Chain A
Amino acid sequence: MGVINNVTQEIRKEGLFQWMLRQLDVLITRLTTGLNWNDLRSMARGDEPRRPNPRLTVHSESFFFHIKPSYYHQSVTKIGHTFRLGLLSTYFFLIELVTGIFLMIYYAPTPERAYGDMLNIISGVPFGQFVRDIHRLGAEAMVIVVFLHMVRTYLTGSYKKPRQFTWLTGVILLLATLFLSFSGYLLPWDQLAYWAVTIGGSMIDKAPPPVLGKTAQLILLGAPAIGAAGLLRFYLLHVLFVPLIVIFVFFIHYYKVVRVGISLPSLQEEIGQDTAKRVPADKRRYYLPDVFTDEMVFLGLITFILLALIIFGVYPGAPLEHHANPNKTPLHTEAPWYFLWIQGLLKLGDPTIMGVIVPTIVFGLLAIIPYIDFNPSRKAKDRPVAIALWMFSMAVLVVLTWMGTPYFMVESPPAEEVVQIMLPEEKDGPVRQTDWELLTVGEWDTTQDNSAASFDVQQLMVLFNDLIHEEHEKVVERHEAKVNDLRSIRNPTPEEQEELAKLLATDPGLPNGSGKMIIENWQEGLKKVTMRVFWTPEGDSEQTFEKTFYIHDDSNYDGQ
């Protein structure tokens, strides 16, 4: 009864409205762990805090704010110093977490269900494809952001004493990010996933000594090849194990960042000094409200860009190819772009050396950079070797990435290549882009008059013809380059002579090439398209390559 009496007395004294306002203010103070309504208003106005500063209480009382420092040196809060890339990496991780849980609701990691579940996410779940796009684009953006974060840290020399261990945990987070992205690749269980992961799995297999490689692969895939067991393991790694590692290592990483402070711009410090933690009172920039507001505005902007890229179709959308088919290797299997450099390495030599040992050395060196760099200065002008090494590494990375694409050292038969461009296995391509109704039934020939066909089909035949000649010229060029290389050898070995003779005896490419496209009505809403390429090498009979496709009126490979 005493409590009620007190309350009644208070209400009598203040009036009900005033009393309710005061209670609301108490509630606000509790929710903000120390800031009342007037404090919030004064913060928003940009006033100086009252004394004692209630904004600091928040940092000691609230969990989420206690992991943030209460103030920074004003030099490190400028966007141009860190670009807030660390915050951004964390933000993308959170986006992945939330969108990932949404996707998990509709997904079961078994070969029988996975692909069907993907179809359902795209065609049966409201916002399904949208969330998938965010998840996919967020993952790729996270790889880029983490990478840029490391580049920034390297170029400003911020990994130096006392931040060596922070860098090391950063390398672990980079590896975890790459593996998270890669393990997510397998889950849709489509051709893209299956073959990209097959390449990755076969690399682990090559780890020396063989017993280690084989065991590691067996542990990861649960079988000698990717199947039900591998899918389940990748799933658990993707949704549980690696995220746990990321969270664990992230807290170590971030604790170190807060503990030693963000390094000041190198020009503001004496060589070998670290003044990040000693912030003079006039240089302080408080987290509440200044930095907090900056961060929110920044993240708002990034969210805006991320969503705009998806909604306005700049990002073509998370792909989904045909169902994984172990019996059908795609013409070009490509690793995800962030691993193309390893694929490029693989083209250069022995898979054990290029696919396992070299990447291990690269990441190993990356991890120990702070411990082998004895240069005490963080100023760029004192670090010519470090900067030159970085430029060199970037150039090598770019070249290797290019070498990883099918443009380098992949020679598929030219006729197959032509058909692949006209009517690719996956994605749409010129024939599928043509309006289904306008695919005129008939037998169309690049050497004949096709005026009976629709204008679109006529255009396709012109393109077909051009492609045959382009591919022919490409192959002939390569062939001639090889011949010239062999001819320029001063003292050729018998093998080289033999090879030259063999090259000279072949008529490469698609000599006298022509193409046919046969379009037939097959079922209601279904047309059969047969692509044939003919060519006649000198002194040989006519050669043919043929591939059949079915095209349904409703199917749509756009943006896939």
Chain B
Amino acid sequence: MNNMMNKITVGIVVLLLTASIFVLFVARDEPARLPAEEANFAGRSVENGALIFEANCVGCHGVQGKGIPGVAPSINSPEFFTTRLQEVGYVGSLRSFIEGTVNAGRPVGSGEYSAKMATWGQEYGGPLRPDQIHDVASFILNWEATAVAGESTAAQPTPTPLASDASPIEIGTAVYTAQGCAGCHGEPGGAGLVGPNLGGIATRAGSTVPGLSAEEYIQQSIVQPNAYVVPECPNGPCAPNLMPATYGQTLAPAELDGLVQYLLTLE
């Protein structure tokens, strides 16, 4: 029974060690760990938002959020981060402005941007959960530094390179995605949103305007969209000036050619 004293001492020492010294270890690291975790989750939020943006938003706002004339405004511009809230008279934070807009959409098209923005939030019948809306706002807000400073290095990424021997059709497919054509015309074969869907365009293009071949007609429609406006759009008669007339300037010749070749495959 004489070792009882020793046992108790050992037991108590072990308990004290575990209960206090170890916890002090944790306590020592907590002040550094908490902000690091906060930065970690803020970073992850931007990552998640980037994927959501890529899947849902590039169609109208462009791959780098620079907007598409006539379709959707730039959300990667100095104005967006500095004067936009004053312009619309919004008194909340920019994050709440973004989250609110993504959530409830823009049900009424306005002036320059006739296209309507869908209600993206689940609360409003859209597909995105609240945490996803938070993430996509984190991603958009992450443009602030470069947008305000007017830097172009980070804001203009190296475009995802295509295989060097990409065919014109492959280039055209990429242009269709990157320029956000689907934002108005929908995915080929699906339904058009603002403009007519382009599924089967190759078949009808040759006979739409007398005297123009299918290729010529498609090229003209991209570069001079007002030369001939088709009568029927998803939301009633098509209006002139709806489609941006700037693609002749912004697309490189190879891209324009590729886009035409790609559209010609949609039979």
Do B157 and A521 touch (CB < 8 A)? yes
Q: Which of A115-123, A162-170, A204-212 contacts B (4 or more CB under 8 A)?
A: A115-123
Q: Chain A contacts of B19 at CB under 8 A?
A: 303
Give A315 Cβ to nearest chain B Cβ, in Å.
13
Given A122, A126, A296, A525, which contacts B142 in the complex, CB threshold below 8 Å?
A525
Instruction: Determine if A17 is an interface residue (Cβ-Cβ < 8 Å).
Output: no
Given A293, A307, A322, A520, which contacts B158 in the complex, CB threshold below 8 Å?
A520
Do B14 and A300 touch (CB < 8 A)? yes
Q: Chain A contacts of B158 at CB under 8 A?
A: 441-442, 520-521
- Inter-chain CA distance A122–B27, complex, in Å, is 14
Give B191 Cβ to nearest chain A Cβ, in Å.
21
Do A311 and B22 touch (CB < 8 A)? yes
Do A555 and B145 touch (CB < 8 A)? no
Residue-wise interface mask of A (93-119) relative to B, using a CB-CB cutoff of 8 A (1 in contact, 0 not): 000000000000000000110011001
Instruction: Determine if A323 is an interface residue (Cβ-Cβ < 8 Å).
Output: yes
Assuming the contacts A45-B5, A293-B11, A521-B158, asked whether A554 and B40 have C-beta atoms less than 8 A apart, the reply is yes
Q: Chain B contacts of A528 at CB under 8 A?
A: 50, 157, 160
Q: Which residue of the partner chain B has the closest CB to A128?
A: B34
Do A526 and B47 touch (CB < 8 A)? yes
- Inter-chain CA distance A311–B139, complex, in Å, is 34
Residue-wise interface mask of B (179-211) relative to A, using a CB-CB cutoff of 8 A (1 in contact, 0 not): 000000000000000000000000000000000
Q: Chain A contacts of B142 at CB under 8 A?
A: 523-526
Instruction: Determine if A392 is an interface residue (Cβ-Cβ < 8 Å).
Output: no
Do B131 and A126 touch (CB < 8 A)? no
Instruction: Determine if B4 is an interface residue (Cβ-Cβ < 8 Å).
Output: yes
Q: Would you list which residues of chain B between 90 and 141 have a CB under 8 Å from chain A? A: 129-132, 139
Instruction: Determine if A304 is an interface residue (Cβ-Cβ < 8 Å).
Output: yes
Is the contact region of chain B dominated by helix, strand, or loop, or is it mixed?
helix
Q: Which of A350-358, A395-403, A499-507, A545-553 contacts B (4 or more CB under 8 A)?
A: A545-553
Q: Chain A contacts of B42 at CB under 8 A?
A: 554
Do B131 and A526 touch (CB < 8 A)? no
- Inter-chain CA distance A307–B20, complex, in Å, is 11
Do A296 and B51 touch (CB < 8 A)? no
Give B25 Cβ to nearest chain A Cβ, in Å.
5
Interface centre among B23, B25, B40 (most CB of A within 10 A): B40
Q: Chain A contacts of B39 at CB under 8 A?
A: 554
Instruction: Determine if A124 is an interface residue (Cβ-Cβ < 8 Å).
Output: yes
Q: Chain B contacts of A550 at CB under 8 A?
A: 46-47, 50-51
Q: Chain B contacts of A549 at CB under 8 A?
A: 47
Given A43, A124, A555, which contacts B40 in the complex, CB threshold below 8 Å?
A555
Assuming the contacts A297-B10, A523-B146, asked whether A112 and B50 have C-beta atoms less than 8 A apart, the reply is no
Assuming the contacts A44-B4, A521-B153, asked whether A297 and B37 have C-beta atoms less than 8 A apart, the reply is no
Instruction: Determine if B17 is an interface residue (Cβ-Cβ < 8 Å).
Output: yes
Q: Would you list which residues of chain B between 37 and 88 have a CB under 8 Å from chain A? A: 37-44, 46-48, 50-51, 54
Q: Which residue of the partner chain B has the closest CB to A303?
A: B18
Do B34 and A126 touch (CB < 8 A)? yes
Instruction: Determine if A127 is an interface residue (Cβ-Cβ < 8 Å).
Output: yes
- Inter-chain CA distance A311–B48, complex, in Å, is 30
Give B113 Cβ to nearest chain A Cβ, in Å.
24
Do A297 and B157 touch (CB < 8 A)? no
Q: Chain A contacts of B14 at CB under 8 A?
A: 297, 300-301, 303-304
Instruction: Determine if A52 is an interface residue (Cβ-Cβ < 8 Å).
Output: no
Instruction: Determine if B1 is an interface residue (Cβ-Cβ < 8 Å).
Output: yes
Given B43, B51, B139, which contacts A554 in the complex, CB threshold below 8 Å?
B43
Assuming the contacts A520-B157, A556-B40, asked whether A129 and B46 have C-beta atoms less than 8 A apart, the reply is no
Instruction: Determine if B15 is an interface residue (Cβ-Cβ < 8 Å).
Output: yes
- Inter-chain CA distance A323–B133, complex, in Å, is 12
Q: Which residue of the partner chain A has the closest CB to B42?
A: A554
Do B11 and A297 touch (CB < 8 A)? yes
Assuming the contacts A44-B8, A116-B131, A441-B158, asked whether A526 and B26 have C-beta atoms less than 8 A apart, the reply is no
Do B145 and A551 touch (CB < 8 A)? no
Give B16 Cβ to nearest chain A Cβ, in Å.
9
- Inter-chain CA distance A484–B22, complex, in Å, is 58
Do A45 and B146 touch (CB < 8 A)? no
Assuming the contacts A123-B40, A522-B50, asked whether A44 and B26 have C-beta atoms less than 8 A apart, the reply is no
Q: Which residue of the partner chain A has the closest CB to B145?
A: A524
Do B43 and A555 touch (CB < 8 A)? yes
Give B44 Cβ to nearest chain A Cβ, in Å.
5
- Inter-chain CA distance A441–B8, complex, in Å, is 62
Instruction: Determine if A80 is an interface residue (Cβ-Cβ < 8 Å).
Output: no
Q: Would you list which residues of chain A between 510 and 560 have a CB under 8 Å from chain B? A: 518, 520-526, 528, 530, 548-556
23 contacts between A and B (CB under 8 A): A45-B5, A123-B41, A130-B23, A293-B11, A296-B11, A297-B7, A300-B11, A300-B18, A303-B15, A311-B25, A323-B131, A522-B50, A523-B146, A525-B142, A526-B47, A526-B142, A549-B47, A552-B43, A552-B47, A553-B43, A554-B39, A555-B40, A556-B43
Binding site for B on A (CB under 8 A): 43-47, 111-112, 115-116, 119, 122-124, 126-127, 129-130, 289-290, 293-294, 296-297, 300-301, 303-304, 307-308, 311, 322-323, 441-443, 518, 520-526, 528, 530, 548-556
Question: What are the 10 closest A-B residue pairs judged by CB atoms, nearest first?
Answer: A46-B1, A552-B43, A555-B43, A554-B43, A123-B37, A46-B4, A297-B11, A550-B50, A300-B14, A554-B39
